[in-house]
């Protein structure tokens, strides 16, 4: 378990703007930073990061929290895993105490799988560098491809031995559980295994044998999968074998090279999209790091959204052969529809980035890229115009194809510019082209696709805060969410405030007593045996009570940095942002009384209102009982109702309300 002082050091070092900036391109907007949300794939920025408050908040999907919450949500990590990830990033040493058997049991399966993948990467790299077969076959292959040693090391390349059980045997010998070798897909469960029984060592064999290994990282830098390339010339053997989908690997979301290239993509504000592992590696060797590949699958919407978080400018570098052109034809409509600015580059003589980079110097390679990238739609229009010069029917088909592509562009202005330019190139009236684009967009119902739950980028911080989620209404007469939420906000923000209240001593003599506002509220709830009805709010209340029982007076940061995302999200959404909203009036010259001075009054009023509602509910339930009970019980129930009505009178008087019957 990670000690408290180490956790504090991690929170202190992990500035939210730095952590989020690893995964999202952020632009300055006043005192805050703005970017595209990584959680719901928007096209208009509504994701705000506040360095001053140490929080992030998406006003589109509602995700919010601190730097640890972000890593937990984005990389799907547990609280301890997120702390370790940040500790590694900031060079903070973690010395854990021995955990109990109960705590061991709580370790997640995902963590165990990630540990297996980390071991696998080290194993394959070690085999290639230190084993005779690995050096003579695996390492020699990469040398033949003219890779430098530093590039081989940078991409953690490796080799899997021809022996069918080499990896599995080594992993088991080093204490890795058979079930996690199977769950990660690194080992295959044989037909000998009886379904429903525990997987044993005898049931497993290696997925990869006699292949060079390419580790696939998620955008947090963790190895989640592998691609294995055969070195056999047997045409019956699959050239590449990739890891299967697992709990830690979703191939439609992972981009090969994004982990190593994202900073360069941000800096260059551009991304090269290639087909294979070796294309990415070859471009890095040529000094071009803003490059990704679609990781053994056709490009997907999720992968495009991952790129879009860092840049909207993309250059497609698919191979010049027929298969490469088909791949680019599939990818480009998806890119356009997601609002990307698409450029295209074709290599001469059916080369790909890998083969072309080995024919020229690094400088010549970079110059070729700079001088030969062309806007995709211009490229397509000119190319197809030349190919169909003397064939009107083909020409009409080409125009239809171009119109289809233009109609996918979500931005009205950019779409209009393309209509105008392509009309000139294709020598057709602009109005006809525009008419066809409009027809396709109406038919495709594009308006619905653009109606995302986002806030305009120009909105002020105050306007964004006003869009915070309201408490869930159950549609019932007795809903206590508003009071329960308000009391929690007062507890967390002002719980340490010293207040004066009336109390009775041992001889029932009243006198003034100074206690904290938090203790006062908890005592008032305890005295009337009230527990929260909303389970989420009750979780937060129990957390506060837990601090008091340990004789700790909690601060806002204790809740903001809670390992429980329910608690940290509540503080970000309801306490911190609400506090900033109240401060905002001073910008308009409005003098607002100190919230410290109003806190006790707010607490009193909310407590009385809350208790009044609870009494109304009890009275309502008792009156319903009157309809069902026998005559002899009626008097007792009426007495209870009269007592509750008396209490209500007292509470309403304290609230300053007159009860009219």
For residue 181, pLDDT over 60 is answered with yes
Query: pLDDT tens, 110-126?
Result: 888 999 999 999 999 99
Lowest-pLDDT range of 1-5, 158-162, 454-458 = 454-458
Query: pLDDT tens, 248-305?
Result: 999 888 999 999 998 899 889 999 999 889 999 999 999 999 999 986 678 899 899 8
Of 3.20.20.70, 3.90.580.10, 3.40.50.300, 3.30.43.10, which CATH number belongs to 4-105?
A: 3.90.580.10
| Bigger pLDDT: 224 vs 401 | 224
CA distance 117 to 215: 9
Burial class (CB in 10 A: 0-12, 13-18, 19+), 6: middle
For residue 645, the model assigns a pLDDT of 62
Q: How many CA atoms lie within 13 A of 142 on its CB side?
A: 29
- The CB density around residue 570, as the number of other CB atoms within 10 Å, is 25
Q: How many CA atoms lie within 13 A of 347 on its CB side?
A: 25
For residue 132, pLDDT over 90 is answered with yes
Q: Which helix (H) or strand (E) holds 11?
A: helix 4-13
Query: What is the DSSP-derived secondary structure letter of residue 131?
Result: S
Which is nearest to 490 in space by CA: 499, 477, 478?
499
Chain centroid to CA 304: 15
What residues form DSSP beta bridges with 206?
A: 187
Say which residues have a Cβ less than 8 Å from residue 143's Cβ, sequence separation at least 6: none
Query: What is the DSSP-derived secondary structure letter of residue 192?
Result: T
CA distance 206 to 188: 6
Domain 376-450, CATH: 1.20.50.20
**At the fourth CATH level, which superfamily is domain 109-249?**
DNA primase, catalytic core, N-terminal domain (3.90.980.10)
Q: Chain-wide mean pLDDT for the chain?
A: 80
CA distance 569 to 110: 23
What number is the average pLDDT over the span 657-661? 36
Query: pLDDT tens, 52-90?
Result: 778 888 877 878 888 888 988 888 887 888 888 898 888
Q: What is the dihedral of CA 139, 144, 145, 151, to 10 degrees?
A: 40
CB-based contact 42:452 (threshold 8 Å): yes
Query: pLDDT tens, 571-596?
Result: 888 887 665 544 544 444 444 455 66
Query: pLDDT tens, 399-430?
Result: 888 888 888 888 888 888 888 888 887 778 88
Here the tokens at position 23 are: 């995964």
For residue 154, pLDDT over 70 is answered with yes
For residue 137, the model assigns a pLDDT of 95
CA distance 528 to 463: 39
Query: Tokens 């005779």 label which residue?
Result: 132
Instruction: Name the strands in the sheet holding 64-65, side by side, starting at the edge strand that comes first in the sequence.
Output: 27-29, 32-35, 47-50, 55-58, 64-65
Paired sense of beta strands 271-274 and 313-316, if any = parallel
């Amino acid at each position: 378990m990670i000690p408290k002082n180490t956790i504090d050091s991690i929170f202190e070092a992990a500035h939210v703007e730095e952590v989020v900036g690893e995964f999202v391109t952020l632009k300055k907007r006043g005192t805050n930073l703005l970017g595209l949300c990584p959680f719901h794939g928007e096209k208009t920025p509504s994701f705000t990061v506040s360095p001053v408050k140490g929080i992030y908040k998406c006003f589109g999907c509602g995700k919010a929290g601190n730097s640890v919450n972000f890593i937990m949500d984005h990389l799907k990590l547990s609280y301890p895993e997120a702390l370790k990830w940040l500790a590694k990033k900031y060079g903070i040493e973690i010395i854990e105490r021995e955990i109990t058997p109960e705590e061991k049991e709580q370790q997640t399966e995902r963590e165990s799988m990630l540990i297996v993948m980390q071991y696998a990467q080290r194993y394959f790299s070690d085999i290639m560098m230190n084993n005779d077969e690995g050096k003579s076959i695996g390492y020699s292959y990469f040398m033949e491809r003219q890779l430098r040693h530093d590039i081989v090391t940078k991409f953690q390349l490796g080799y899997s031995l021809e022996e069918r059980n080499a990896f599995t045997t080594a992993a088991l010998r080093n204490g890795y559980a058979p079930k996690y070798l199977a769950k990660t897909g690194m080992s295959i469960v044989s037909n000998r295994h009886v379904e429903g029984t525990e997987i044993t060592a005898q049931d497993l064999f290696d997925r990869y044998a006699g292949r060079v290994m390419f580790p696939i990282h998620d955008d947090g830098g963790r190895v989640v999968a592998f691609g294995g390339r055969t070195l056999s010339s047997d045409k019956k053997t699959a050239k590449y074998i990739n890891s299967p989908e697992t709990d830690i690997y979703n191939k439609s979301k992972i981009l090969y090279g994004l982990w190593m290239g994202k900073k360069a993509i941000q800096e260059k504000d551009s991304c090269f999209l290639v087909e294979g592992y070796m294309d990415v590696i070859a471009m890095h060797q040529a000094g071009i790091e803003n490059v990704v590949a679609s990781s053994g699958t056709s490009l997907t919407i999720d992968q495009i959204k991952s790129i879009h978080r860092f840049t909207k400018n993309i250059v497609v570098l698919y191979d010049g052969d027929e298969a490469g052109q088909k791949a680019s034809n599939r990818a480009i409509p998806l890119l356009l529809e997601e609002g990307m600015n698409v450029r295209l580059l074709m290599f001469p003589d059916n080369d790909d980035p890998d083969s072309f980079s080995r024919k020229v110097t690094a400088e010549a390679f970079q110059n070729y890229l700079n001088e030969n990238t062309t806007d995709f739609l211009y490229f397509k229009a000119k190319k197809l115009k030349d190919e169909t010069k003397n064939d009107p029917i083909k020409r009409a088909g080409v125009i239809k194809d171009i119109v289809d592509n233009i109609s996918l562009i979500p931005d009205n202005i950019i779409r209009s510019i393309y209509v105008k330019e392509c009309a000139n190139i294709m020598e057709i009236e602009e109005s006809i082209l525009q008419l066809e684009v409009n027809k396709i967009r109406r038919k495709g119902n594009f308006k619905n696709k653009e109606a995302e739950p986002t806030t305009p980028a120009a909105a002020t911080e105050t306007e964004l805060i006003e869009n915070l989620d309201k408490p869930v209404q159950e549609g019932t007469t007795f809903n206590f969410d508003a009071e329960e939420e308000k009391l929690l906000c007062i507890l967390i923000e002002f719980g340490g405030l010293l207040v004066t209240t009336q109390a009775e001593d041992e001889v029932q003599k009243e006198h003034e007593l100074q206690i904290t506002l938090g203790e006062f509220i908890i005592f008032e709830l305890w005295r009337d045996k009230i527990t929260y009805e909303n389970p989420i709010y009750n979780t937060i209340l129990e957390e506060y009570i837990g601090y008091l029982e340990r004789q700790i007076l909690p601060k806002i940061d204790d809740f903001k940095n809670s390992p429980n995302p329910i608690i940290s999200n509540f503080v970000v959404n309801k306490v911190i942002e609400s506090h900033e909203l109240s401060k905002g009036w001073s910008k308009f010259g409005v003098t607002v009384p100190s919230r410290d001075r109003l806190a006790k009054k707010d607490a009193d009023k909310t407590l009385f209102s809350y208790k009044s509602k609870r009494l109304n509910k009890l009275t309502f339930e008792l009156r319903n009982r009157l309809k069902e009970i026998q005559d002899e019980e009626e008097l007792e129930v009426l007495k209870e109702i009269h007592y509750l009505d008396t209490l209500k009178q007292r509470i309403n008087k304290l609230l300053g309300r007159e009860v009219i019957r």
